[in-house]
Amino acid sequence: MLLILGVGSRFAQAARPVLPPAQGSVAQRTSHLTNYLARTLHLSQPQQKQVAQSTRKYLQQLELVAVKPGLVAASTPERLLTGQTAAEAEKEYTLALARILTPGQYTAYSWLREHQPEESR
C-alpha cells in the first residue's frame, strides 16, 4: 500500500493532463501523448513503440466516432457508425496499455487518468 501511495504522490507533482491536446493531427497528438507517457512512466524503447501504435489507433478511432451535434453521421463512408463508441475505444486503449505497461506503470497511469484536471477530460 505504501508503494502505491509513494508512486501516486510522485506523479501528483506532474499534474499535466494525460489526454492529448485537441488541436493538431493524429500524428502530432500521438507524439505528444506518447512522449508524455514515456517521460512520466519511464517507458522502455519497446514500450514506447507499442504505446505509440496503440495511441495512434485510439486517436484514429476517436476521430471516426467524433460526430459533431447536428451533422449526419454517415456523411461519408468513413464516418459510418460501426457501433463503436468513444467509450468503447477508450476501453480498448486502456486494455492495450494494460498489456504493455508493467503493473506499477499501469497503476500510475490509472492514477493520472483519475486525477487529471476536469477541463482536459
More confident residue, 69 or 93: 93
Roughly what angle, to the nearest 10 degrees, separates helices 26-41 and 45-65?
Answer: 140
More confident residue, 15 or 53: 53
More confident residue, 77 or 41: 41
The answer to whether 18 touches 101, Cβ cutoff 8 Å, is: no
Cell of 82: 460501426
Q: Alpha-carbon torsion 22, 23, 26, 32, what sign?
A: negative
Q: What pLDDT band is residue 19 in, cutting at 50, 70 and 90?
A: low
Region at 27 (left for phi over 0; alpha for psi -120 to 50; beta for the rest): alpha
pLDDT tens, position by position, 73-95: 555 555 555 556 788 888 999 99
SS3 content of the chain, % helix, strand, coil (to 5): 65, 0, 35
Calculate what percentage of the chain has a pLDDT beyond 70: 62
User: What is the predicted pLDDT for the residue at 100?
Assistant: 97
Predicted structure pTM score? 0.68
